[in-house]
Chain A
Amino acid sequence: MSDASESSARQLATDARDRVRFEEEALDLSDQVYGVARRLVPSREEAEDLVQETYARAFRSWRSFQPGTNLRAWLFRILTNLNIDRGRKVQRTPDLQPLEESDYFLYNKLEESGADGTPDQRRVVERLSQNDAVTALADLPHDFRDVVLLVDLADFTYSDAAQILDIPIGTVMSRLHRGRRMLKGALATSAADES
């Protein structure tokens, strides 16, 4: 074998090894990707499609991933971009009426509603229902939901979330703040309806 073909053979082997490692590392993150995808779209089937598209694209474009940078953020960027590309309906900007509820209000509401009859104040959070949480999250306007999912579910920092969604960090913070409050507002309402 000539020197040139030997070095290109070596290059191919290195390439294959890097690619396999990349694919394995990406697959190790698939539970987290699915967890967020499942809450980005309404049904399990759509979530499965979205995750498959995400991995198909990630594997196809593995060369554009810079080794040593954040693979998890890179994958979630593909996921959220694909979700936007899927033509999710353009939403009217949610009416930005001021949320006067404070950060303590959900606790205060739950404590109030449990005051009569329920002597057990120990775990106020147990008055909330799982289904209500799923519905409340699904009902958030998607710009807000994207941020809440990335930060509160997938544990990304504000700055990672900003890069993934390609929005300024200040926007991440304000959407997170609003999104969390909307979520609590919805849960406070459903908890009141059920009590």
Chain B
Amino acid sequence: MSGFAFDPCDKCEQMMQPYLDRVLTDAEVREAEVHLDGCEYCRKRYRFEVEFRTFVRQAVAEPMPPELKEKLRSLRTPL
């Protein structure tokens, strides 16, 4: 995009994080969705972002060691 021309994909890109965080207004959500409906370029990138968030979450997840759970139980106030 050259000059100051309005690029709807730029706008859509700026809306991606707040869109996925669900902090856009209803009007903004509609604006993003109307654009996404007609734009495969942005749609692919939004889809990737959703997968990316899931990927990070799963990649860094580590289950709590069961012994720790027991230790925490033992910290409770005795009745």
Q: Could you tell me which A residues sit within 8 Å of B by CB distance? A: 16, 19-20, 23, 27, 30-31, 34-35, 38-39, 44, 48, 51-52, 55-56, 59, 102-104, 106-107, 123-125, 128, 130, 133-134, 137, 151-153, 158, 176-177, 180, 183-184
Complex: how many Å from CA A39 to CA B48?
Answer: 24
Question: A107 near B68 (CB under 8 angstroms)?
Answer: no
Chain B proximity of A158: nearest CB distance (Å): 7
Interface residues of B in 25-74 (CB under 8 A from A): 44-45, 48-49, 51-53, 55-65, 68-69, 71-73
Q: Could you tell me which B residues sit within 8 Å of A by CB distance? A: 13-14, 16-17, 21, 23, 44-45, 48-49, 51-53, 55-65, 68-69, 71-73, 75-77, 79
Q: Contact partner of B64 among A34, A59, A151, A184, CB < 8 A? A: A34
Q: Contact partner of A48 among B51, B59, B68, B77, CB < 8 A? A: B68
Complex: how many Å from CA A16 to CA B77?
Answer: 9
Which chain B residues border A35 with CB–CB below 8 Å?
A: 61-62, 64
Which chain B residues border A103 with CB–CB below 8 Å?
A: 13-14, 16-17, 45, 49
Chain A proximity of B64: nearest CB distance (Å): 4
Complex: how many Å from CA A183 to CA B60?
Answer: 13
Which chain B residues border A123 with CB–CB below 8 Å?
A: 51
Q: Given A31-B63, A134-B60, are A23 and B76 neighbors across the interface (CB < 8 Å)?
A: yes
Q: Given A106-B52, A133-B56, A180-B17, are A158 and B61 neighbors across the interface (CB < 8 Å)?
A: no
Question: A104 near B23 (CB under 8 angstroms)?
Answer: no
Q: Contact partner of B44 among A27, A31, A107, A153, CB < 8 A? A: A107
Question: A27 near B55 (CB under 8 angstroms)?
Answer: no
Pick 27 A–B contacts, CB within 8 A, sort by A.
A19-B77, A20-B79, A31-B63, A35-B62, A35-B64, A38-B62, A39-B60, A48-B71, A52-B68, A52-B75, A55-B72, A59-B77, A102-B13, A104-B45, A107-B44, A124-B51, A125-B48, A125-B52, A125-B55, A133-B55, A133-B56, A133-B60, A134-B60, A153-B57, A158-B21, A183-B56, A184-B52
Q: Given A35-B62, A38-B62, A124-B48, are A152 and B56 neighbors across the interface (CB < 8 Å)?
A: yes
